[in-house]
Structure 1
Amino acid sequence: MPDSNLYKGSLTTIVLKLLSGNDKMYGYEITQKVKELTKGKLKITEGALYPALHKLEAEGLLDVEVLKVNNRLRKYYKLTEKGTKETASKLNELEEFMETLRGILNLNPKFG
C-alpha cells in the first residue's frame, strides 16, 4: 500500500465526496465504502475518521441524524447545503493539485 501520509491531507475531500453521492452514511459504512472503492488499498481508521466527521459537523458542513437500528443508536451523516458547496470547492482544489503534480512529474504535456 502507498504511504498513508499521502492520503491524510485528502481525508476531508474523500468523506465529502462519498457523502455527496449518498443521502446519508454512518461511520463504519464510510470506512467500508472507501476500502471497497480502493480494492483495499486505502483503509480509513476510526481514529482518523471520527475526528474528521466531528470537525466537519462543527464547521456546519454535515448534519447528524441518530437512528435506532437493531436496538443500537447509529449516527448518520449527511451534507448540509454549505457542505455541498464545500465538496465542489474541495474537489476542484484537489483536481488542480493533481494537475500540478502531473506537470511536475512530466505526466501531462499541457503543463507549463
Structure 2
Amino acid sequence: MANSKLYKGSLSTIILKLLDEGGKMYGYEITQKVKQLTKGDLKITEGALYPALHKLEAEGLLDVEVAKVDNRMRKYYKLTEQGEKETANRLAELEEFIRNMQQLVNPKWSIS
C-alpha cells in the first residue's frame, strides 16, 4: 500500500476485529492474516503491531496467554469482555467514518 498512513489510525480496530473473528492469535499470525485479507496491500510491521497490542492490553481490552510451541514461548492475544464491547463500538465508528468519507470523496457511489 502506497500510503499506509491512512491505516495507522485504524490499526487497533483492525487488531480487535481479527481477534473478535479468530479468537486468540499471536502477533505474527495477525500480520499474516492482514496480509492475506488485503492480498498483500497492507503489511503490518512488528514495530507497529506490538506497541498497539501492548496498548490494547494496558487498556484492559486484551488478555495474554503464554504457551510453549516448538520449544519457544509464544504470546497469544485474545479479547477480554471489555474488549468485545469496545470492538463493536470501534467498528460502528469506523463504518460511520467510511460512509462519511465515501459521501465526501464520491457521492455517486454513496450507500445510504
TM-score bracket, shorter-length normalisation: over 0.9
| Aligned equivalent of 2:83 | 83
1:98 and 1:76 mapped to 2: Cα distance? 30
Q: SS of the residue aligned with 1:63?
A: strand
- Superposed displacement of residue 84, structure 1: 0.2
Structure 1, unaligned runs of 5 or more: none
| Aligned equivalent of 2:97 | 97
Q: SS of the residue aligned with 1:74?
A: strand
Q: Deviations over 1:35-83 (max 9, x none)?
A: 0000000000000000000000000000000000011000000000000
| Aligned equivalent of 1:28 | 28
Output the TM-score relative to the length of structure 2: 0.95
> How many percent of aligned residue pairs carry the same amino acid?
71
Is residue 56 of structure 1 aligned with residue 56 of structure 2?
A: yes
- Superposed displacement of residue 2, structure 1: 3.4
What stretches of structure 1 move > 6 A for 4+ residues in a row? none
1:2 and 1:85 mapped to 2: Cα distance? 32
Q: SS of the residue aligned with 2:89?
A: helix
Structure 2, unaligned runs of 5 or more: none
| Aligned equivalent of 2:110 | 108
Pairwise mapping of residues 40-51 of structure 1 onto structure 2 (< 5 A)? 40-51=40-51
CA RMSD for the aligned pairs?
Answer: 1.0
Q: SS of the residue aligned with 1:73?
A: strand
* Aligned length in residues: 110
